[in-house]
Amino acid sequence: MNIQNLARENVRLLTPYQSARRIGGNGSVWLNANEYPEATAYQLTEQNLNRYPECQPVQVIQRYAAYAGIKPEQLIVSRGADESIELLMRAFCEPNKDAVLYCPPTYGMYSVSAETLGIERRIVNSKKDWQLDLPAIKEALNGVKLVYVCSPNNPTGNLINPDDIRELLAMTAGRALVVVDEAYIEFCPKASVVSWLSQYPNLVVLRTLSKAFALAGLRCGFALASEEIINLLLKVIAPYPLSTPVADIAAQALSDQGIATMRQRVIELNARRDQLIKTLSACTCVTDVYPSETNYLLFKLTDSEAAFKTLWDQGIILRDQNKQPGLKGCLRISIGTQAECDAVTDVLQTF
């Protein structure tokens, strides 16, 4: 029996998401997944696991809504922002008929989710300055139901011009949703478009606890949108998407104390990032360090492959961005602890 032939054709052809964990490496310094470098301790307050959890844990919803400045009805909590990326496709895109549009270089899961579900991918590369190519997007909108815009963008670190997002929202009004992925917005909170939700019925904002909240291992993310959109997503989400311990810890992370701790982390990480920009720029093997509003930096080297391998062999794992359009010679580094950043610059200074 040929199991391969039984599988769906698009799954046979699929290249799975190359997550930092899948790529592997024998690292001691992990700077390839934009995680927070140190763990916060949590206590489980809910010890009973014999019952199913709430589908949408009320305390998590209420606290996140208060944090984001929206109504609890405008929010769904999911197994990471990644699940929300896919829920939107499942709720809005007919396989083999509708399309999703996104603008590389950008986050890889928009593509992987669409491919898995058999939804057409409409790819419009961003301009040289990593801003949206609005005329090209306009030309490509036929049959598109979802436009994913990552701001600040992963892996480039820049914000998308708010005026361009407004133009995109107007251009797609009545025919497609604009999904603004704000996974890193805590590092530049003023840039959030969440307050636009009341003006634009076709806007969706994605958020996560994986980055500034230092909880990548928890798997907890959110989609913020109109109540009508949220109700459609609630139809297709799994009956128990978050386990009881996840809801318990997420609620603690979203307490006043938890949010204050996150904000303190952001201040420290942003300062360390700005210092790392200077140190990397002074390395002769580095030709460009791009501005960043996030907890990572994209930088260009004279020989990125050799630098990547030299660091890798010393257990320092960065993220190679060579394969993304326009990013030849570029690596991405997550801002780690001071010691981890020093380990990288020590190698690159003598490289």
Ligand X SMILES: *Cc1c(COP(=O)(O)O)cnc(C)c1O
Give the binding site for ligand X (CB under 6 A).
Answer: 34, 80-82, 107, 150, 154, 181, 183, 208, 210, 216, 221
- State the DSSP code for 18: -
> Is 80 or 336 the residue whose CB approaches ligand X more closely?
80
How many residues are there in the chain?
A: 351
- 3-class secondary structure per residue, 56-108: CCHHHHHHHHHHHCCCHHHEEEECHHHHHHHHHHHHHCCCCCCEEEECCCCCC
Query: Could you tell me the smallest distance in angstroms from the CB atom of residue 81 to ligand X?
Result: 4
Query: Could you tell me the smallest distance in angstroms from the CB atom of residue 30 to ligand X?
Result: 14
Distance CA 87, CA 206 (A): 12
> Is 204 or 216 the residue whose CB approaches ligand X more closely?
216
> Is 137 or 216 the residue whose CB approaches ligand X more closely?
216
> Is 202 or 210 the residue whose CB approaches ligand X more closely?
210
Query: Could you tell me the smallest distance in angstroms from the CB atom of residue 213 to ligand X?
Result: 10
Q: What tokens does 35 get? A: 């995680």
Instruction: Count the Cβ atoms, other than its own, within 10 Å of residue 26.
Output: 9
Question: CB-hemisphere CA count at 13 Å for 321?
Answer: 28
> Is 36 or 200 the residue whose CB approaches ligand X more closely?
36
Query: Could you tell me the smallest distance in angstroms from the CB atom of residue 92 to ligand X?
Result: 18
Query: Could you tell me the smallest distance in angstroms from the CB atom of residue 294 to ligand X?
Result: 9
* Whether the Cβ atoms of residue 317 and residue 25 lie closer than 8 Å to each other: yes
Query: Could you tell me the smallest distance in angstroms from the CB atom of residue 219 to ligand X?
Result: 7
Nearest Cα to Cα of residue 149 among 88, 77, 216:
88
Q: Which helix (H) or strand (E) holds 283?
A: none
Q: What residues have CB less than 8 Å from 144, skipping those under 6 apart?
A: 98, 99, 100, 101, 122, 172, 175, 176
* Whether the Cβ atoms of residue 256 and residue 249 lie closer than 8 Å to each other: no
Q: Give the residue at shortest CB distance from ligand X.
A: 80
First to last CA, the chain: 53
> Is 82 or 293 the residue whose CB approaches ligand X more closely?
82
> Is 30 or 107 the residue whose CB approaches ligand X more closely?
107
Query: Could you tell me the smallest distance in angstroms from the CB atom of residue 33 to ligand X?
Result: 8
> Is 154 or 252 the residue whose CB approaches ligand X more closely?
154
Looking at this protein, which amino acid is placed at residue 187? F
Q: What residues have CB less than 8 Å from 307, skipping those under 6 apart?
A: 285, 301, 331, 348, 351
Query: Could you tell me the smallest distance in angstroms from the CB atom of residue 347 to ligand X?
Result: 25
